């Protein structure tokens, strides 16, 4: 079973630098792991060629019997007798209690005649094994260190392990990072990864082996994603045996499904598997708790990024509804939808559509409101409204212009001049002249207007603009 949120489109104007940095770090570390197969094979070959198997493996079987583990001892004794030394070797290395006593000289003791050769060969083998990058920096539950508690989050067993984790990290990471901020997201990832190691530290110290991979930290990020969205409906991809599709579900409902899946895998379906399901569960719980505390500090509110997504979705629904009303020639309803959409954020297209539909509705109050919205939008530097629409809005409003600052009107007049709407620009500039007592804006506009008239082949209008400049602003 697989349930994943479908990725939203990233906002590349604000790149998710922490998410991208974590992905890059994992890829670089994986490249450093590249020769681990050769290093491990060299260490194991050294072990096979030495006297260590003949010394240590029988000692391990005897030690098991001495600890009362008679069934295990009998099984491994038969394996030794039939030449299956690898089975005994794996069992021995997965027994941290025995390995600790072995390295401490409590199994093969200094008084034993074979001790000097065994010690030299054991130290040589341990030195070769320590060169295996993955094992050196992965988390060993029996011997955790401050370094490996962090480094294990950046190691991966193989290319598929890396690819799967990085895909998941990117799908949910950039949304969570945009919500929590770079520092908050980095802290969530690290604390989630540490919490994911807790089951190994609590319950895995009696067994050997290693824990590695970003899966636990990414599980924390996935939990943060659904807690941030709460009961909002989010589109998920799901795969269940041969069935797969997409569906919109309340985000938070998926958290217990994810958690239950990991626990079922660990204790029912794959109890002896190599996947660290408890790390996934620990990460999910940590991510949910940390993000729940974040929302608690905000009085239950989600992050501003999530609220913006809500607003964007509501706005998109209004625009879709407006288009449907236009198709049914219900222009007054469409105009009201556009007005409500503009209340949630203005852009050139919506402003232009609102004015066109308001004219089709033939409602003077809607036309005036739409024209005022369009002029306010035209005063924004990012706007690219055509001069023709701006000129039409000025005509619609007549003398009832919206209260904009003089620099904003100057920008609108400049747009009109640049687009060749010189008559509308001249009318507007004449209205601005009385407001620009110190001559900060209008003299430059008059000079630009005169140039525009001359380029349009209208010298008389150009001279009129120059005469007004000389009369009203002689110092300019």
Please, are residues 278 and 293 in contact by the beta-carbon 8 Å criterion?
A: no
Separation of alpha carbons 393 and 355, rounded Å: 8
pLDDT of residue 172: 94
pLDDT of residue 203: 80
Q: How many CB atoms lie within 10 A of CB 460?
A: 7
pLDDT of residue 12: 82
Query: Side by side, which strands form the sheet with 233-240?
Result: 2-5, 233-240, 243-250
pLDDT of residue 346: 86
User: Which tokens hold the place of 187?
Assistant: 């802290």
Length of the chain: 476
Please, are residues 238 and 246 in contact by the beta-carbon 8 Å criterion?
A: yes
Residue 390: closest CA among 363, 422, 362: 422
Strands (E), 221-318: 233-240, 243-250
Q: Quick one: DSSP state of residue 112?
A: S
Q: Any idea which fold 2-31+153-297 has?
A: Rhomboid-like fold (1.20.1540)
Separation of alpha carbons 12 and 9, rounded Å: 9
Separation of alpha carbons 150 and 424, rounded Å: 66
Q: Which residue has the tokens 């212009």?
A: 401
Give the start-to-end residue ranges of the domains of the chain. Answer: 2-31+153-297, 39-128, 304-403, 405-476
Residue 48: closest CA among 161, 163, 128, 153: 128
Q: Which residue has the tokens 């009362």?
A: 68
Distance of CA 404 to the CA centre of its chain: 39
Residue 238, classed as helix, strand or coil, is strand
Helix (H) or strand (E) holding 5: strand 2-5
Please, are residues 319 and 337 in contact by the beta-carbon 8 Å criterion?
A: yes
Residue 250, classed as helix, strand or coil, is strand
Separation of alpha carbons 459 and 448, rounded Å: 13
Burial grade of 281 (CB within 10 A; 0-12, 13-18, 19 or more): buried
Mean pLDDT of each 10-residue bin along the chain, 476 residues long? 81 90 96 92 96 95 93 94 93 91 94 94 95 92 90 93 95 95 97 93 71 93 96 90 88 95 91 87 97 96 92 92 96 96 91 96 95 95 94 93 93 95 94 85 93 94 91 79
CA angle centred on 140, ends 80 and 162, rounded to 5° = 100
| CATH assignment, 304-403 | 1.25.40
Residue 402, classed as helix, strand or coil, is coil
pLDDT of residue 207: 60
Please, are residues 343 and 313 in contact by the beta-carbon 8 Å criterion?
A: no
């Amino acid at each position: 079973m697989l349930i994943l949120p479908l990725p939203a489109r990233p906002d590349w104007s604000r790149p998710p630098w922490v998410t991208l940095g974590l992905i890059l770090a994992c890829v670089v570390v994986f490249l450093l792991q590249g020769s681990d197969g050769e290093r491990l094979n060299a260490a194991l070959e050294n072990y096979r060629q030495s006297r260590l198997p003949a010394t240590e493996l029988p000692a391990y079987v005897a030690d098991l019997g001495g600890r009362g583990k008679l069934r295990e001892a009998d099984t491994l004794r038969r394996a030794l007798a039939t030449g299956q030394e690898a089975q005994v070797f794996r069992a021995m290395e997965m027994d941290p209690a025995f390995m600790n006593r072995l390295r401490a000289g409590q199994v093969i003791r200094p008084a034993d005649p074979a001790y000097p050769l065994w010690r030299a060969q054991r130290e040589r083998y341990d030195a070769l094994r320590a060169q295996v990058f993955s094992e050196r920096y992965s988390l060993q539950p029996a011997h955790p260190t401050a370094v490996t508690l962090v480094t294990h989050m950046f190691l991966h067993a193989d290319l598929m392990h890396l690819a799967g984790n990085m895909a998941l990290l990117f799908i949910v990471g950039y949304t969570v990072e945009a919500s929590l901020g770079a520092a908050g997201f980095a802290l969530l990832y690290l604390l989630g990864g540490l919490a994911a190691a807790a089951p190994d530290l609590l319950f895995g110290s009696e067994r050997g082996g290693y824990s590695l991979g970003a899966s636990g930290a990414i599980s924390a990020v996935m939990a943060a994603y659904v807690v941030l969205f709460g009961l909002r409906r989010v589109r998920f991809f799901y795969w269940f045996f041969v069935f797969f599709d997409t569906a919109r579900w309340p985000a938070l409902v998926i958290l217990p499904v994810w958690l239950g899946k990991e626990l079922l895998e660990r204790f029912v379906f794959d109890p002896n598997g190599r996947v660290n399901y408890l790390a996934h569960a620990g990460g999910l719980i940590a991510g949910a708790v940390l993000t729940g505390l974040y929302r608690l500090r905000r009085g239950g509110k989600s992050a501003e990024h999530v609220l913006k997504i809500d607003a964007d979705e509501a706005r998109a629904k209004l625009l879709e509804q407006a288009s449907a009303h236009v198709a049914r020639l219900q222009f007054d309803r469409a105009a009201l939808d556009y007005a409500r959409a503009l209340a949630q954020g203005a852009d050139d297209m919506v402003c232009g559509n609102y004015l066109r539909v308001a004219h089709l509705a033939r409602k003077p109050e809607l036309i005036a409101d739409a024209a005022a919205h369009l002029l306010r939008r035209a005063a924004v530097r990012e706007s690219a409204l055509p001069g023709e629409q701006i000129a039409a809005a000025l005509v619609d409003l007549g003398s009832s212009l919206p209260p904009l600052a003089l620099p904003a009107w100057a920008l609108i007049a400049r747009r009109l001049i640049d687009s060749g709407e010189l008559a509308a620009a001249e009318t507007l500039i004449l209205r601005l002249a009385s407001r620009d007592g110190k001559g900060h804006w209008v003299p430059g506009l008059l000079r630009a207007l005169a140039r525009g008239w001359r380029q349009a082949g209208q010298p008389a209008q150009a001279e009129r603009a120059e005469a007004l400049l000389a009369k009203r602003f002689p110092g300019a």
